[in-house]
A and B are shown apart, each in its own frame.
Chain A
Amino acid sequence: MADAIFLALSVITIGSAIAALELRSLIYGAIALMGSLGGVAGLFLLLDAPFVAMFQLAVYVGSIAVLILFTVMLVRRELIFTMVEDKRRKFVGIALMLVMMVALGAVILDSGIKQITTDEAAVDFREIGEDFLTYYWPALILMALILSGAVTGALVLARRVDEDIGQRAN
């Protein structure tokens, strides 16, 4: 039962990851990226990590995808729909992808992680919350500083430097 769900989720994830890179229109690409990130959230649910799955949905599918869509719509129209790429470079890239898949897959299939199984209960999300507030509290504060710094930096970078700022203020 769960196997069919796993297959469907992995097909959705990998298929829309390819679609996000290969669709001609950047808007459809962004929507396909959303599908891929949602598929990863579904895989997190299969791994008994509902908290991470909800975080993924809220952060990626909720905010990052909207951010990307707005940026895409700020760009000129013909840039959204044209794809510039070398034919030769593309073939080399596809070859690199296949070599990587086969090599890493062979290494992993040959390694010992096939034997890893578990019958222990999943980690409770209460434990994660407790960890955040006890063991990881410096990292949590650092993360808050990084996030606020990143948002401030993004706003400062994207600010339009107009000459008539002084006039508008009056």
Chain B
Amino acid sequence: MRILANELIEFVLVSVALLAIGIYGLSVKRNAIRMLFGIEIVINAANLNLVAFGRFLPHSGGQTLALFSIAIAAAEVAIGLALIIVAYRMYNNIDIADFRSLKG
């Protein structure tokens, strides 16, 4: 059996870095597609945490939940891109500052 060469804390730190980068992208970028990139990065940080804890506190639940999370993220990206295409047709732009028809 292979002994793990890495500790849990290393994976969690990588996950924290990914989370911070994703939040940065989500809060600064005004391009809708780039905001979607930020969401993807945050979701991946969460998945990495799930799998890492599922490995170090041995239980199959971590990997199962990560699989469900990946599938949900796929659905979310499909819907998000469809919304972006609809908004692009309406406003001829993908800058979220231009999407203001819901603004009172």
Contact = CB atoms under 8 A, between A and B. Distances in A.
Contacts of B44: 36-37, 40, 60
**Overall SS of chain B's interface:** helix
Contacts of A100: 16, 19-20, 23
Interface string B15-30: 0111111111101111
Interface of A: 1-3, 6, 10, 13-14, 17-18, 20-21, 26, 29-30, 33, 36-37, 40, 43-44, 46-49, 51-52, 55-56, 59-60, 63-64, 67-68, 71-72, 74-76, 79, 83-85, 89-90, 92-94, 96-98, 100-101, 104-105, 108-109, 113-114, 116-123, 125, 127-128, 131-132, 136, 139, 143, 146-147, 150-151, 153-155, 157-158, 160
B102 interface: no
Interface of B: 1-14, 16-25, 27-31, 33-34, 36-38, 40-41, 44, 47-48, 51-52, 54-64, 66-68, 70-79, 81-86, 88-89, 92-95, 97
A150 B93 CA distance: 24
17 contacts: A36-B44, A43-B11, A48-B55, A64-B73, A68-B37, A74-B88, A90-B28, A97-B24, A120-B58, A121-B1, A121-B58, A122-B55, A123-B63, A132-B67, A146-B75, A153-B82, A157-B79
B9 A109 contact: yes
